């Protein structure tokens, strides 16, 4: 019996305000009978984020039972904190490590003083990692530190030491738990470990009970750093409930984005997902241009392992770490640098040496990191810049990575008349000579770099930086079907934006920009900043093109359709998407979303999904797939997204103009081995980026 699918989608297409990064719009709101999570973001207000933004630099500590094997198992030495599952150590054998975990050389104050002296302002330590072993005195399980020969709770001592030395104490907590019988899925090699009776809701209650212990017994906690949220058991609903629960226990606590289920890969905040905690967590990477408008923190190992690995001597030099810290701060982020202590309770000497060197640099240059904001420059060939607002104006901290051979440090496109400049390392703050050539400042430096780690120069301005950056054209789309509102922006004081269309640069007599400009035909827009009748920036140009939408399959907005898509499931080993039409599917049926169910195996499988997508209004749409491994998306048989290939989590996108109504959609996906994922997103000039709602999929 065909069910009548009335899709009456509510679209709030009103602008909710124009931010630097463009207009933020409400998205598709399916009918009230479909469960859609609230889309408001519940990030802590600026006041609660203040200490974290001031801190900029913290210590990550991965410490647990995995330190006992120290990365070695059956003659192999490449393991870390994942050793239980990477080396396929059965549960009862791994549990035996408990009896030999006795870190008698652990000294909480030694660890905290080391962090403090390195210039770190907070410590995030693994209360429970994926192996399920609890490094704190929990009453919820005996798989914890109190039942080891150590017999006492190191978290209590660390909390006290952090309080004593003025660092924020924070917990890492893994949602994924390879030990608890109620956590599913099991590791795929644990064939003989039953899932009988496993109840995830009971595990969820276990989690809440432990979080209650962590937030009740150790004083004020700065951050709850969740992790291991990527498996099928977790979802946004659990994430939101845990976020609210934790914030109810300690209202000022910060929670990272891994509490939700929307994070993609090791990137920052969730893409288009409603809910992403208080900050993003790019891991082992520094986003090229930061993550504008979002708080984020890069977490990184000092060598190649989070947990202690006795053979891994590949530690990053202190100079490299210091320059990473400056790079991250220049993009507005925090740096969470990891140490992996031994089973005896010692932080490796190699880590200590680096932290001491970093600390000596921070004692002189810390003001160029703490409480700074991202660089006002789009790019500096010789290094990085951080900035700090002061009561007298702005201090620009110039981190000189590449020393100018001629001793002349050129600062491009800045119109301010600076007050002075000096090396932070110069106790006498001897003023450096500053010259101007046209729109650039030049600071005259000694021929050789005084600090091989990283020299920082403080440049004092009496006002906001006045850079000759051209205006920004804040439009993600440069094609349209009917009309398009073009938004121009310049964050500079006392400049006018003047614009024109065609192939000439705007002049002072060109129209003045006073708000969004609507175009209804293809056009090339040019824009430039002016002050007192004179141009004070170069011009920027962008072509906007009117295109015809692909017609929908009918003109009726109401139609009889079945919810969900048709799917075909295949098995095979591919390096790229095969032509599935040549294969006989193993299973077929209908499915409500781009899910990998039903399937017989976790590897070497493929899916084809087909059906229709309801397009709410005629416009240009950007679709993306975020997949591991390959995926391709066709709309009306046009290849819109080509994300094919054997790869980790990768996002690819493409645009297509569509008329309101139903359009054919087909997606092909394959997974070879390892982790797998498929997320499909949609956005348009009037819809914020979001996972393609299953409510608008039908067949």
Q: Which of residues 431-490 bind ligand FHN (CB under 6 A)?
A: none
Q: Extract long-range pairs of 266-270: CB within 8 Å, 24+ residues apart.
A: 266/649, 268/294, 268/296, 269/294, 269/296
As measured in angstroms, the least distance from the Cβ of 64 to ligand FHN is 10
- Enter the tokens of residue 274: 């409603």
Phi, psi for 523 (deg, rounded to 5): -160, 155
Toward ligand FHN, which CB reaches closer, 81 or 644? 81
Residues 584-603, mask of contacts with ligand FHN (x by CB under 6 A): --------------------
135 binds ligand FHN (CB under 6 A): no
As measured in angstroms, the least distance from the Cβ of 343 to ligand FHN is 17
As measured in angstroms, the least distance from the Cβ of 348 to ligand FHN is 17
Toward ligand FHN, which CB reaches closer, 227 or 312? 227
As measured in angstroms, the least distance from the Cβ of 256 to ligand FHN is 9
> Among 52, 66, 106, 306, which residue interacts with ligand FHN (rule: CB under 6 A)?
306
Q: Which of residues 361-390 bind ligand FHN (CB under 6 A)?
A: none
229 binds ligand FHN (CB under 6 A): no
182 binds ligand FHN (CB under 6 A): no
Q: Are 453 and 401 in contact (CB under 8 A)?
A: no
- Cα-Cα-Cα-Cα dihedral sign, residues 130, 135, 136, 141: positive
- Tell me how far apart the alpha carbons of residues 292 and 138 are, in angstroms, rounded to a whole number: 39
- Enter the tokens of residue 453: 């780690």
Residues 237-276, mask of contacts with ligand FHN (x by CB under 6 A): -----------------------------x----------
Toward ligand FHN, which CB reaches closer, 306 or 513? 306
Measuring CA to CA, which residue among 559, 558, 497 is closest to residue 530?
497
Residue nearest to ligand FHN (CB): 306
- Tell me how far apart the alpha carbons of residues 363 and 269 are, in angstroms, rounded to a whole number: 32
Q: Are 170 and 215 in contact (CB under 8 A)?
A: no
Inter-axis angle of helices 236-249 and 200-216, nearest 10: 20
* Rg (the chain; Cα; Å): 28
598: preceding bond cis by omega (within 30 degrees): yes
Give the burial string for 24-44 (b: 16+ CB within 10 Å, else e): ebbbbebeeeeebeeeeeebb
As measured in angstroms, the least distance from the Cβ of 336 to ligand FHN is 8
Q: Which of residues 312-341 bind ligand FHN (CB under 6 A)?
A: none
283 binds ligand FHN (CB under 6 A): yes
As measured in angstroms, the least distance from the Cβ of 591 to ligand FHN is 28
Helix (H) or strand (E) holding 628: strand 619-628
- The C-alpha torsion from 327 through 330 and 336 to 342, rounded to 10°, is 30
CA-based end-to-end distance of the chain = 14
Quickly count: other Cβ atoms within 10 Å of residue 586's Cβ: 15
- The C-alpha torsion from 419 through 425 and 428 to 432, rounded to 10°, is -40
Q: Which of residues 16-75 bind ligand FHN (CB under 6 A)?
A: none
> Among 127, 211, 223, 299, which residue interacts with ligand FHN (rule: CB under 6 A)?
299
As measured in angstroms, the least distance from the Cβ of 187 to ligand FHN is 13
81 binds ligand FHN (CB under 6 A): yes
Toward ligand FHN, which CB reaches closer, 83 or 322? 83
Under DSSP, the state recorded for 99 is: G
Length of the chain: 699
Please count the residues of this chain forming the interface with ligand FHN, following the rule CB under 6 A: 7
Toward ligand FHN, which CB reaches closer, 306 or 530? 306
83 binds ligand FHN (CB under 6 A): no
Toward ligand FHN, which CB reaches closer, 28 or 294? 294
- Tell me how far apart the alpha carbons of residues 460 and 196 are, in angstroms, rounded to a whole number: 67
Toward ligand FHN, which CB reaches closer, 266 or 425? 266
226 binds ligand FHN (CB under 6 A): no
> Among 131, 153, 227, 676, which residue interacts with ligand FHN (rule: CB under 6 A)?
227
Q: Which residues bind ligand FHN (CB under 6 A)?
A: 81-82, 227, 266, 283, 299, 306
């Amino acid at each position: 019996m065909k069910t009548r699918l009335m899709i009456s989608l509510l679209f709030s297409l009103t602008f909710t305000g124009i931010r630097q990064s463009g207009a933020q719009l409400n998205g598709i709101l399916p009918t009230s009978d479909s469960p859609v999570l609230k889309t408001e973001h519940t990030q802590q207000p600026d006041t609660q984020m203040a200490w974290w933004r001031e801190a900029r630099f913290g210590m990550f500590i991965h410490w647990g039972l995995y330190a006992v094997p120290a990365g070695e198992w059956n003659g192999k030495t490449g393991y870390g904190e994942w050793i239980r599952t990477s080396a396929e150590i059965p549960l009862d054998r791994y549990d035996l490590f408990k009896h030999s975990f006795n870190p008698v050389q652990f000294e909480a104050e030694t660890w905290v003083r080391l962090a403090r002296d390195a210039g770190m302002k907070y410590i995030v330590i693994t209360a429970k990692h994926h192996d399920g072993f609890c490094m704190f005195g929990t009453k919820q399980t005996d798989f914890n530190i109190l039942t080891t020969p150590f017999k006492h709770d190191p978290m209590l001592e660390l909390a006290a030491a952090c309080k004593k030395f003025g660092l924020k104490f924070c917990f890492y907590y893994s949602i994924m738990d390879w030990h608890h019988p109620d956590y599913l899925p099991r590791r795929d090699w644990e064939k003989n470990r039953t899932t009988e009776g496993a109840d995830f809701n009971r595990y969820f209650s276990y989690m809440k009970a432990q979080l209650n212990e962590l937030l009740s017994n150790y004083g004020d906690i700065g951050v709850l750093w969740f992790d291991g949220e990527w498996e099928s058991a977790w979802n946004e609903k659990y994430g939101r409930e845990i976020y609210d629960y934790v914030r109810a226990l300690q209202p000022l606590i910060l929670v990272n984005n891994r509490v939700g289920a929307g994070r993609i890969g090791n990137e920052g905040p969730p893409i288009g997902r409603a809910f992403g905690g208080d900050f993003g967590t790019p891991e082992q990477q520094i986003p090229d241009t930061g993550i504008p408008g979002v708080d984020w923190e890069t977490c990184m190992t000092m060598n190649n392992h989070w947990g202690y690995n006795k053979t891994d001597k590949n530690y990053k030099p202190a100079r490299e770490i210091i320059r990473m810290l400056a790079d991250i701060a220049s993009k507005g982020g925090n740096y969470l640098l990891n140490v992996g202590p031994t089973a005896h309770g010692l932080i490796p000497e190699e880590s200590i040496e680096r932290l001491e060197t970093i600390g000596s640099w921070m004692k002189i240059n810390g003001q160029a990191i703490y409480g700074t904001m991202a660089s006002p420059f789009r790019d500096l060939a010789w290094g990085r810049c951080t900035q700090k607002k002061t009561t007298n104006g702005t201090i620009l901290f110039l981190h000189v990575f590449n020393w100018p051979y001629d001793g002349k440090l050129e600062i491009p496109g800045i119109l301010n008349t600076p007050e002075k400049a000096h090396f932070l390392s110069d106790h006498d703050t001897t003023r450096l000579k500053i010259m101007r050539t046209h729109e650039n400042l030049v600071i005259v430096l000694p021929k050789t770099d005084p600090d091989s780690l990283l020299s920082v120069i403080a440049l004092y301005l009496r006002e906001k930086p006045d850079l000759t950056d051209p205006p920004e054209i804040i439009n993600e789309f440069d094609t349209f079907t009917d009309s398009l509102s073009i938004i121009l922006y310049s964050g500079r004081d006392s400049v006018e934006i003047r614009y024109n269309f065609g192939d000439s640069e705007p002049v002072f007599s060109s129209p003045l920009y006073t708000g969004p400009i609507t175009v209804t035909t293809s056009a090339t827009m040019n824009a430039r900043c002016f002050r007192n009748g004179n141009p004070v920036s170069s011009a920027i140009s962008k072509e906007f093109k009117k295109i015809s939408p692909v017609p929908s399959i009918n003109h009726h907005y109401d139609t009889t359709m079945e919810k969900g898509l048709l799917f075909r499931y295949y098995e095979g080993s591919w390096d790229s998407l095969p032509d599935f039409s040549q294969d006989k599917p193993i299973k077929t049926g209908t499915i409500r979303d781009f899910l990998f169910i039903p399937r017989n195996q976790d590897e070497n499988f493929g899916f084809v999904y087909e059906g229709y997508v309801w397009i709410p209004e005629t416009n240009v749409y950007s679709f993306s797939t975020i997949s591991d491994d390959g995926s391709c998306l066709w709309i009306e048989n046009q290849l819109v997204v080509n994300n094919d290939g054997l790869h980790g989590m990768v996002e690819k996108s493409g645009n297509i103009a569509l008329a309101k109504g139903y359009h054919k959609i087909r997606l092909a996906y394959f997974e070879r081995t390892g982790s797998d994922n498929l997320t499909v997103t949609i956005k348009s000039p009037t819809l914020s980026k979001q996972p393609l709602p299953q409510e608008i999929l039908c067949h």
